[in-house]
Amino acid sequence: MHKFSQQQQQKPEQQRQHQQWQQQLQQQQQQQQQQQQQQQQQQQLTCAIGSSSSSNSKTARRNQAAAKQAAAARKAAAAAGGAAAEPTAAAAVEQKAATAATAAAAAADPHEVYNDEVVQVLGQASSACTANLSSSSSSSSKRLMQQQQQQQQQQKQQQQHNASHISPL
């Protein structure tokens, strides 16, 4: 009787171990499937990057040309004396270049090494945007300064005018 009861106790223990082993097997299989899926996704991304990098280098050349044109247009406009009106056309060209560069960066996997040309264009586009922003901000700050000076002059004139009209007591 005693042996029989021991065997009965061992059976549930064996069943529990067997269940644990099955669960571990299932988990391993799931992990393997996930890894395979990730590898497939990475391969698809790599293919997409490969196809987009050639178009990226084309857009990179186009962006470089556009940036050069914008710089030339800005120089010409500055020489002509239209320094206030010229940033708009150049900014539009730079905006297009920056948008294209951003799209190229978004299409590429951040973990992949960028095409040298794309990196160059991204840098140029960002520096062009920064330069454009700084030039526009400096011109707007100049305008603000002028407006403030004009206001101060007007206030002084008004005060003088008021003072001349006050009759001495």
Question: 129: Cβ–Cβ under 8 A, 6 or more apart, which residues?
Answer: 94, 95, 98
Distance of CA 159 to the CA centre of its chain: 52
Average pLDDT, the chain: 70
State the pLDDT confidence band at 146, using cuts at 50, 70 and 90.
confident
State the pLDDT confidence band at 28, using cuts at 50, 70 and 90.
confident
What pLDDT, on a 0 to 100 scale, did the predictor assign at position 6? 57
pLDDT in tens, 78-122: 666 554 555 566 667 667 777 776 666 666 555 555 556 666 777
Nearest to 122 by CA among 146, 139, 98: 98
In percent, the amount of the chain with pLDDT more than 90 equals 0
- The pTM assigned to this predicted structure is 0.24
Q: What is the rounded distance in angstroms from the CA atom of residue 60 to the CA atom of residue 124?
A: 10
Distance of CA 99 to the CA centre of its chain: 10
Question: 112: Cβ–Cβ under 8 A, 6 or more apart, which residues?
Answer: 45, 46, 49
Residue 132 · residue 91 · CB < 8 Å: yes
Owner of token pair 């002059």: 153
49 versus 61: the higher-pLDDT residue is: 61
